[in-house]
Chains A and B, each alone.
Chain A
Amino acid sequence: EIVLAQSPGTLSVSPGERATFSCRPSQGVSSLHLAWYQQKPGQAPRLLIYGASTRATGIPDRFSGSGSGTDFTLTISRVEPQDFAVYYCQYYGGSPITFGGGTKVEIK
């Protein structure tokens, strides 16, 4: 099973700042099988990035993903008020599918 370690657990940022957070698989994975989701309170998760770096339909270009192997990153270039949420990475390259523990982005 691929365990995904996300850091930090919580990230405090001000609107307009850059936010960067990490997802580290327990073993190297193909970037084809790494996704990022955003979840706001009381809502279902929403796909942001798949294949490590491809934005999903309708996702603004301030969101970007990068990385390979055992080190992946999600970056929000300039955080907007609607971006305060929890972000999860996901590995979907096999069974079981796994999620990281999440990074909460809160207002500083």
Chain B
Amino acid sequence: QVHLVESGGGVVQPGRSLRLSCAASGFTFSGYAMHWVRQAPGKGLEWVAAISFDGKNKYYADSVKGRFTISRDNSKNMLDLQMNSLRVEDTGIYYCASEPGRGQAISGVIAFNRFDSWGQGTLATISP
């Protein structure tokens, strides 16, 4: 059974950094793409970033491009999100999610898959 556990959330001031982690178990982590999705308080879901199964391809929402970095360590079954230059609007619950695909581009076109497992989320609060 897939199990995803996020950690690393907390309260930080704008402009500072935070590193989130997601520990994965119950499946062959190294075989699948992974994602981060966030949810501002009382709001909807926003996809943040994705990484291919081998870590070679990374994709970001425009709202975080250049500030956030997604990475993975397949030897440790860990997914990370390094968040720099944080803004108040980055506040929210951050979920990691797995998909049944590899996150590879085929003929130059990326094809993702549905998010079949989610962690319970970790709250990041950016406040002056």
A residues adjacent to B (C-beta < 8 A):
33, 35, 37, 39, 43-47, 50-51, 56, 88, 90, 92-102
Contact = CB atoms under 8 A, between A and B. Distances in A.
B44 A102 contact: yes
Given A47-B115, A50-B116, 11 more contacts: A35-B115, A37-B115, A44-B95, A44-B121, A47-B114, A50-B113, A51-B114, A94-B112, A95-B110, A97-B35, A100-B44
B13 interface: no
A44 B120 contact: yes
A108 B27 CA distance: 41
Interface residues of chain B: helix, strand, loop or mixed (majority): loop
Interface residues of chain A: helix, strand, loop or mixed (majority): loop
Interface of B: 35, 37, 44-47, 50, 59, 61-62, 95, 99, 109-116, 118-121
A21 to B, nearest CB: 14
Contact of B59 (A37, A50, A90, A95): A95
Given A99-B45, A100-B44, A90 B111 contact: no
A45 B45 contact: yes
Contacts of B116: 47, 50, 56
A96 B62 contact: yes
Nearest to A86: B44
Contact of A95 (B37, B112, B118, B121): B112
Given A92-B114, A95-B59, A44 B44 contact: no
B109 A94 contact: yes
B121 to A, nearest CB: 6
A51 B109 CA distance: 18
A-B interface, 9 closest residue pairs, ranked by CB to CB distance from nearest: A50-B114, A44-B118, A97-B47, A99-B45, A95-B59, A92-B112, A35-B114, A102-B44, A101-B44
